Structures are given as structure tokens and as C-alpha cells.
């Protein structure tokens, strides 16, 4: 019966595949006598020679040596597969996931749900990176993060994604704006005023523009392009401009009365909240999706 360690079988396999004791010793970083000792120990267990040795020639496998070599290949394969499984289990137990988050969701939507994730899985560790929609997609595509959470109007091309929620859009104005007290507003009412928007070349702008066009607001006046939601809200508060914003970014100001959500005759189509990832959905991403769905 052969009762050899994976290490001993690995040494024997190196001797066979590299063609000699010296080559195996060099590859393994051990002394040549140590290689010989491993082979001799295997031969004692087998009760017969495993290699035919001839000075100046590669050692040749005996019939018994071929059987032990096949055993070595299989044991080492199983050992490597087991090591990979164990490494995966360890990673699963620590449950670290790096997530890129669209900044509009980073305060109002995400913290509560990530808190629920870490409560449900105490060993979870979530690392977040904040940016624009374009930033988030670039981080996913570049492999810098495992997943992203962003606002969308459809599935991003070339990436996997799951809808985890929906975010209403509001057109907001200052509390003393001429439209603030009116109801049943239509597109023609809004066209008389300038809009604060995101940068016109951004995905965010195209997404919001699609939403306002859905209620007939096709040719509106863009008075100001601002990348930051906080700056956009300040511009609206201190003038007669309007802005179409995700509700999560303006709900605090609406509650405080510093901004008003205009009462439209036709409701704006909501945006999707998507968890986006490259490749297959991993167990870590599946846990994140569950938490994000609430």
C-alpha cells in the first residue's frame, strides 16, 4: 500500500517530468539527496523499483513506477482542487465585496441596505467607491470593483445587471417659484423657465433627458449644466430655475420646505436602480442584490 504525502508524490512527479534528480531538486529548491530520499521511501513502500537509472540518461519508469506516477498526478490534482475550494470557502466566510456606487445613491439609498447586509452576514465587509455613473461603469469594466450600484433607464450593454429598485424623479423649484403652488402642470408651463441639468455629455444627462421628454418636454432651455447634485440644488433654491432630480437627492430639502416638487399632470417615469457586474453573478454579489432589494 502506498501511503505517501502529496509532497513526496510531487517530488517523484518532478523527477519523472523533468528527467532527473538534479533538475527536480533545482525546480523544487531542495538538495539533490533530499530528492533521492523521497524516491527511495516510495520504493520501499512499493516494495520494488520505480525508476530504471542509467548514468548519463534520463531515469525511466518501471511498470510499478508508472502506477505510482499516475497516482501522484491524481493526488496532486485533487490536492490543488481542494486547496482552491478551501480558499473559496475562506473568501466566502470573510465575504468582502468592493462596490462602486453612484453618488446620488450613496447617502439616501445605500447605507441602510448595506447595514442590513452586514447585520445578516456578520463577517461581511463592504468597501465602497463613489463616483458618477460613468465612473462606476468604468470601475466595473476595468475589474477594480466586483459590482456597482447606479441609476439607469435600462441594462448597461455588455454587463450583467439586476434591477433592485426604482427611484422616482421630481422636477423641483424654489419654495417661492411661480410654479410652486400650482397643480396639473404640463410641458408648456415648464418651458417658460430655464433648467439646471447634469453635464450634457454624461450618461446621467441622457437618462434624465429621456424621462422629461416622455412627458412632452422636448425643447426646454438648459440654463446651467452642473455635475454635482448639491450645487444644482443650490442654484435652484436661489433663482427661478428648475431641475429634474432623483427624489433621494432632494427629499430632505422638500421635507424642510426649501425646495418644492412640482405637481405635474403627468408623472415622470422612474429610474431603475441596478446592481451591475461583469461576468457571472457570484455568491457575494447575490447577497448584495438580496440586501439592496430590501
Q: What is the pTM of this model?
A: 0.66
**CA dihedral in degrees (191, 197, 199, 204; nearest 10)?**
-110
* Mean predicted lDDT score pLDDT of the chain: 88
**What is d(CA 9, CA 258) in angstroms, rounded to the nearest whole number?**
75
Report whether pLDDT(42) > 80. yes
**What is d(CA 205, CA 258) in angstroms, rounded to the nearest whole number?**
24
DSSP state of 155: P
Sign of CA dihedral 183, 187, 192, 196: positive
H or E element: which one contains 150?
Answer: strand 147-152
Summarize the confidence of residues 178-201 as an average pLDDT: 94
Q: What is the pLDDT of residue 239?
A: 87
Sign of CA dihedral 229, 230, 236, 241: negative
- Under CATH, which number does the domain 169-269 receive? 3.40.190.10
Taking each helix axis from N to C end, the angle separating 283-292 and 110-120, rounded to the nearest 10 degrees, works out to: 130
Summarize the confidence of residues 157-171 as an average pLDDT: 94
Q: What is the pLDDT of residue 77?
A: 84
**What is d(CA 114, CA 245) in angstroms, rounded to the nearest whole number?**
23
Task: Kindly tell me the burial class for residue 168, based on how many C-beta atoms sit within 10 Å of its own C-beta (0-12, 13-18, 19 or more).
Answer: middle
Strands (E) across 168-230 are located at 169-174, 195-197, 222-225
164 band by pLDDT with thresholds 50, 70 and 90: very high
Q: What is the pLDDT of residue 97?
A: 81
Report whether pLDDT(151) > 90. yes
Phi, psi (rounded to 5 degrees) for 116: -65, -35
Summarize the confidence of residues 179-204 as an average pLDDT: 94
Domain boundaries of the chain, sorted by first residue: 6-89, 95-166+272-292, 169-269
* pLDDT tens digit sequence for 95-149: 678 899 998 998 877 777 877 777 777 767 788 889 889 899 999 998 888 899 9
Task: Kindly tell me the burial class for residue 294, based on how many C-beta atoms sit within 10 Å of its own C-beta (0-12, 13-18, 19 or more).
Answer: exposed
95-166+272-292 and 169-269: identical CATH topology: yes
**What is d(CA 260, CA 1) in angstroms, rounded to the nearest whole number?**
83
Task: Give residue for cell 525511466.
Answer: 60
CATH class, range 6-89: mainly alpha
Domain 95-166+272-292, classified CATH 3.40.190.10, yes or no: yes
Amino acid at each position: 500500500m502506498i501511503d505517501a504525502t502529496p509532497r513526496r508524490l510531487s517530488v517523484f512527479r518532478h523527477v519523472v517530468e523533468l528527467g532527473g534528480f538534479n533538475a527536480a531538486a533545482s525546480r523544487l529548491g531542495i538538495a539533490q539527496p533530499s530528492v533521492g530520499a523521497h524516491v527511495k521511501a516510495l520504493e520501499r513502500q512499493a516494495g520494488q523499483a520505480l525508476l530504471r537509472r542509467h548514468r548519463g540518461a534520463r531515469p525511466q519508469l518501471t511498470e510499478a513506477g508508472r502506477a505510482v506516477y499516475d497516482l501522484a498526478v491524481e493526488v496532486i490534482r485533487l490536492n490543488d482542487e481542494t486547496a482552491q475550494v478551501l480558499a473559496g470557502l475562506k473568501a466566502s466566510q470573510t465575504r468582502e465585496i468592493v462596490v462602486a456606487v453612484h453618488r446620488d445613491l450613496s447617502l439616501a439609498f445605500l447605507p441602510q441596505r448595506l447595514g442590513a447586509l452586514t447585520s445578516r452576514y456578520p463577517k461581511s465587509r463592504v468597501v465602497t467607491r463613489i463616483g458618477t455613473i460613468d465612473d462606476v461603469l468604468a470601475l466595473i469594466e476595468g475589474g477594480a470593483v466586483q459590482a456597482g450600484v447606479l441609476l439607469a433607464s435600462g441594462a448597461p450593454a455588455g454587463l450583467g445587471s439586476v434591477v433592485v429598485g426604482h427611484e422616482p424623479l421630481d422636477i423641483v423649484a424654489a419654495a417661492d417659484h411661480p410654479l410652486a403652488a400650482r397643480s396639473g402642470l404640463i410641458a408648456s408651463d415648464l418651458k417658460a423657465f430655464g433648467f439646471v441639468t447634469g453635464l450634457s455629455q454624461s450618461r446621467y444627462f441622457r437618462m434624465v433627458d429621456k424621462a422629461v421628454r416622455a412627458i412632452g418636454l422636448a425643447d426646454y432651455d438648459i440654463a446651467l449644466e452642473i455635475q454635482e447634485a448639491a450645487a444644482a440644488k443650490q442654484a435652484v433654491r436661489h433663482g427661478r430655475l428648475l431641475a429634474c432630480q432623483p427624489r433621494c437627492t432632494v427629499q430632505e430639502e422638500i421635507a424642510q420646505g426649501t425646495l418644492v416638487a412640482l405637481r405635474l399632470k403627468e408623472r415622470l417615469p422612474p429610474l431603475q436602480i441596478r446592481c451591475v457586474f461583469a461576468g457571472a453573478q457570484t455568491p457575494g454579489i447575490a447577497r448584495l442584490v438580496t440586501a439592496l432589494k430590501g
